[in-house]
Amino acid sequence: MALQPFTNEQLNYFKFSFVVLNEFPKVLRQTFKHMWDNTFAHLPGYQPWDNSNAVRNMFLATEGSKTKVPTHLPYEEWDCSALFQATIYAKSFALPDTTGHHRTRSDLYLKHRKPPHGTFHSSVVSPGGNDAETFAVAIDQLRLLRNAFCHSSSSEIDKKTFDQYIQHTKDAITALGITTDPIDAVGSLTESDFPTEKACKLKDDIKKELQTENTFLQTENIFLKENVENELMSMRSDFAKSRQERQEDSIELRKTIEKAATANQEMTNKKIAEMNQKFEDILKTERPGK
């Protein structure tokens, strides 16, 4: 059965969903490969990214053998959530801050410049010409655009919003050094480019993407809960240890005070005894025979 004709707003939604589901992962994979090759390919014991088991295990090792990225799968199967984890949230690409501590690209460049909820970065280019910062902000812009798509309550996008999304997408992709030709081509898509079969498949892909995002958020919540619980346990342990140390210090201080008090009393008693002896001597001198 043929679909009813799309409205312009519905067509915009399908166009942007096509960009998010098909182009975003391609761009993020190219960016991840670029970051890996520029960071590790020249180091002894490492190799350029070729998507082999060996290089994926290298990435897992640089992450500390623990990551939310499915390194057991070819990176063509990594979705957007995994690719964000593999880039701006990855320990592998952490850089030193002003104090010398290594921090992820997200913590270093994005933590203190989050745009208000529901908005985007006004610019993805680093004010200081820092390529690492530009890459981080551009990747985060794609993340914000994908979130806007996944969290949308409607399957329609008006022209103004659609044009804004496409422009932000092109700016981010350009900053990553990747051609925007596929994005430009989306603007010329018409209703005929979304026949029944293709539209239905796209709807299925959208549903899967939303389910993936929901699963990721649930996992993220569990991860955050575990971190909070671990932090609380650590705080309790530190508090107990601190209390024990304070008790030990208090006992030592009490002993020191008691020793000092005893020593002072002994010294005082000694001085009193000496004074009494001198007084007795004086009395004997002044009153002999008495």
Q: What is the pLDDT of residues 247-256, one digit of tens each?
A: 676 677 777 7
Q: How confident is the model at residue 38 (pLDDT cuts 50, 70, 90)?
A: very high
Q: What's the rounded mean pLDDT across residues 201-213? A: 71
> In the beta sheet, which residues pair with residue 102?
96
**Residue 19 falls inside a structural domain:** yes
Q: Which domain holds residue 28?
A: 8-194
The model carries a pTM of: 0.71
**Residue 103 falls inside a structural domain:** yes
In the chain, what percentage of residues exceed pLDDT 70? 71
Nearest to residue 28, comparing CAs of 69, 91, 84, 68? 84
**Residue 58 falls inside a structural domain:** yes
pLDDT at 289 over 80: no
Token pair 């390919």: residue: 41
Question: What is the predicted pLDDT for the residue at 242?
Answer: 62
**Residue 182 falls inside a structural domain:** yes
pLDDT at 125 over 90: yes
Question: What is the predicted pLDDT for the residue at 182?
Answer: 93
What is d(CA 108, CA 145) in angstroms, rounded to the nearest whole number? 21
**Residue 107 falls inside a structural domain:** yes
Provide the residue type at 143 as one letter: R
32-36, 120-124, 280-284: range with lowest mean pLDDT: 280-284
Question: What is the predicted pLDDT for the residue at 150?
Answer: 86
Q: What is the mean pLDDT of the chain?
A: 82
What is d(CA 166, CA 172) in angstroms, rounded to the nearest whole number? 10
**Residue 225 falls inside a structural domain:** no
**Residue 290 falls inside a structural domain:** no
Q: In the structure encoding, which two tokens stand for residue 148, read together?
A: 């806007």
Half-sphere exposure of 186 (CA within 13 A, CB side): 23
**Residue 274 falls inside a structural domain:** no
Count structural domains, the chain.
1
pLDDT in tens, 168-205: 999 999 999 999 999 999 888 887 777 666 666 777 77
pLDDT at 279 over 60: no
What is d(CA 216, CA 208) in angstroms, rounded to the nearest whole number? 12
